[in-house]
Structure 1
């Protein structure tokens, strides 16, 4: 088990529906990280922006972006996570990938598709929560709109870290910031959210507000609003153990099952 886990949060603008340009952009950003990190977190739909044009931007699990992730993870000896558009068996998914340097790929299909934008009409919702065991850390990665549904994120697995990747627009960003902090506090878990910046092809503005919180809801990062930025933070297992042992709030959580 690794005591500390170093995470790089990449808050970035995205080129609209241009996977080649976005891969180039993130290659440069990842290569600019001059310290050893364990996990790199990219935004939701990091190759395209949040588009409903799935057919025009679809990839497969054997496609260029998955191969790029495998190559970058291996080259930098780091796990990389973010979501892309994947077509599988005739259906489109907003699929989060957690790619480890040894070539292992874990996937999570966004459960809560964003009905306000019609995402539910284009993308098939997932129904399985993902818990990744990486370097002795138990990690639960989720996608954007999932943040509004605390039951789905509830820490019944005793995970250590909750990650949200997002394209969360500026107009509702107060909810994003408030709920990220709440998820950390209620689950006694580190909680990280990585959101994009800039304008998308539908002229929606994104201000970032990417952030990292400890189990008490204390802010750990210094990411600036509205700017492209890479922030590296260090998480500690002893911090989790200290406050879970002292406060024991998770011992009083409700027992339930999802149907």
Structure 2
């Protein structure tokens, strides 16, 4: 049953996610022209930052890197890690399973921020390098999650019957086994995107990623934090958009997990 409270929760979650997404996607298309002014002044709608640039203008053009890098990293991590996990779970050769999963265990103890920082320093101001580094540190956990979730389905009689019918690997593992991991993936998705946003923002906040003058939300927070009391919107506006996206995405992931569980619970 769809309760009004549940529907309202979904609406609020969608709005929290859509607001920063719309700003990130369509913000650069908004014709906002502002001449440089005094640092931390009250000129314009949201004032100016530490370099005298219009905060609203920076806000409109700074979301594509902040969210694009995080979302891109999660997509890459799920594509690579998910494929590795499905292959490891469905193979009948133990050596292949071990050969795919054990090397990933080496990456698990490494601090994620340290790995990304090293890559960011080596390829400074490269959004692609940071995106790939964030994806890399997420691949091991995604692969292990998908493998664990797919093991039971991969060894089920249904899979054996499909193999006897000579169905393709993609039909069996993406069509049937892949459905068994949707619940765990939904539960993990909110945490994964939050972690990716945190890692991307942290690297940029520490000054190890994009250029210090880049109109990125995390860079803006880092560069203007000393002027928080003088011009709070230079820090609060990008911070609120990042919080809105991660909070809304986590709420949506929780609702998706609840939705995927209901059919199973109804049959018990």
Same fold (TM over 0.5): no
Bigger share in helix: 2
Shorter-normalised TM range = under 0.3
Question: Larger Rg: 1 or 2?
Answer: 2
Using the size of structure 1 for normalisation, the TM-score is 0.25
Q: Which has the higher contact order (CA 8 A, sep 6+)?
A: 2
Bigger share in strand: 1
